[in-house]
Structure formats: structure tokens, C-alpha cells
Copies of this chain bind each other. A is one copy, B any other.
Amino acid sequence: MFHHSSKLQYEVRVDKPNPQFANHLQQAIGGIEGEIRVAMQYFFQAMGARGDAKYRDMLMMTATEELSHIEFLGHAVALNLEGAPANIQEKAAEDPVVNAILSGANPRHILSSGLSAMPVNANGVPFDMSHVYATGNLGADMLANVTAEAGGRVLASRLYNMTDDAGMKDMLSFLIARDTMHQQQWLAVIEELGGMEKQLPIPNSTPTENEATEHSYYFLNTSLDEPTPEGRWTSGKSLDGRSEFSVVDKVKPLGQKPDLGKARPDSGAQNEQIG
């Protein structure tokens, strides 16, 4: 069960409200790199967690933290919208800089939300829950979580570069820090379970006889004119410790030329396809 307390997890201060930056911050709320996504992803993974209960607990605890991130970011958006003109046209004529900043703002922050945050990204596209990755496989889920936090820290770092507001920079430095921890937190689960070698390939419960292992360890060069890019993936022991990497360079199709024959008379095709 969830509970709430009245203060924000981190202090939010905006020295110079900026509606264009309000729009940029939306990416951290409703973007695929944003906080709604991680909150919901960890929440749904927790609800579906099977196996050692401590991973479920961990997921739920961090899901709860991410809800608090949405909250202070939402406040930051609202504070950046304070003072945004309700009549863009008039204001715009006066000062070309103000002008351009307003043109880069999200008009729906005025028209739709009344100067507050929306669950959309920096293009105004609403977040959709297909981005909640939760497979029921602990390894796949941990990787999905590191990915989300890596995207999140990339975004927070870019937002940091996009503002010169000291309050916003302070808040973003906190987000950058928490994303640092969260990246490692999920990878630490993999390490604790024996590391990548033991966890790979995911799912590690697939019986070997279900896998055509003769195709499991070669890099396929599908280029007609490029040499194979050599690296850790072209030779040496595979990362799961089960085999050696190799290269297949001259691609030879293993399958047939597909042929579906004629269309059936009752299938809604043209007569010429049926003939």
C-alpha cells in the first residue's frame, strides 16, 4: 500500500521562470527516458516478481522513489511556467528573445493544463504504457532497468547543459546522482546472482536442446563491401562461457525462396491473383 508525506523529496527552486525549459523538463516526466516510465516499470515488475522476495521489495521501494521524482519535476515545470504570458502575441511583439522562447514553449501548457505539468514528453506526445518493460524474467528486467536509468541520466545531463538557472541545475544534479545509483543497483542484482556469465544467455532456463547452438556464437557480416569489424565479439570465449565467438562473413541464405502460390477465391483478392 502507498502513503504520502507533504514535502518534496528534493528542493525545487526556479530563479528565472522559462516556459521553453518547462517544455524541455517534460521529457524527464513523460518521455521514454522519464520518471513515469521508471516508476511504472518497477511497480509492474514488482507486482509480477517471482523468486527471491528481496528483489520484489527492492523494485517496489525504488518504484516509490520514482513517484517522488515525478512529483518534484512536476513542481519544477509549474514554477518555470509562472509568469508565462496568457497572450503570447502581444508579448511577442515586444522582445524578440522573449518571443523566440515563447515560440519554443508548449502552447498546451497555456491552453490545456493552465500552467502546470502534463504527462507528455518535450514534443507534447503523451506517455504510453507500452514502455513499461516487465517480462517476468529477472535478468531481462534488470537490464531493462539499467537501460532506462542510462537513458534517464543521459537526459538529465543534457537538461543540465540546457539551463543556466542555478536552482534547476541543483535539482538536476540530484537526479543525475540518483540515476547513478539506480544504474548500479540493478546491475548489482546480476552480479549478486553470479554475474553476466551465469545469467547469460537470458533466459538461462531455456533448455539447450531448444537452441540451434551452431548459430549461437557467430557474428554475421551482412555487408557486401565492408570487412567484419573485429572486436571482443568476433573471437575469444563467449560471455556466457559456453563457447567461442566466430565470424560468418559470406552470408549464405539457409532458407527457401518464399512462395505463397495463388490466392483463394473467397479471400478478397483480385481475380488475377486467383486464376
Contacts and interface: CB of A to CB of B under 8 A. Distances in A.
A251 B129 contact: no
Number of copies: 6
A38 interface: no
B111 A155 contact: yes
Contacts of A177: 211-216
14 contacts: A2-B65, A31-B108, A50-B260, A50-B269, A58-B233, A68-B222, A86-B267, A114-B135, A114-B268, A122-B124, A138-B269, A147-B147, A153-B206, A206-B268
Contact of A140 (B61, B154, B185, B212): B154
A120 B119 contact: no
Given A57-B226, A239-B188, A137 B108 contact: no
Given A8-B255, A12-B255, 20 more contacts: A6-B226, A21-B89, A31-B112, A51-B273, A96-B99, A100-B102, A100-B103, A104-B104, A114-B158, A120-B129, A128-B130, A138-B269, A143-B147, A144-B151, A177-B215, A178-B220, A180-B201, A187-B200, A189-B231, A205-B271
A263 interface: yes
B102 A176 contact: no
Given A7-B1, A74-B47, A88 B103 contact: no
A144 B176 CA distance: 19
A137 B268 contact: yes
Given A100-B103, A210-B176, A264-B86, A181 B219 contact: yes
A81 B154 CA distance: 18
Contacts of A205: 157, 265, 268-271, 274
Given A71-B47, A74-B47, A268-B135, A121 B147 contact: no
A189 B229 CA distance: 11
B138 A3 contact: no
Contacts of A268: 114, 135-137, 154-155, 157-158, 161, 203, 205-206
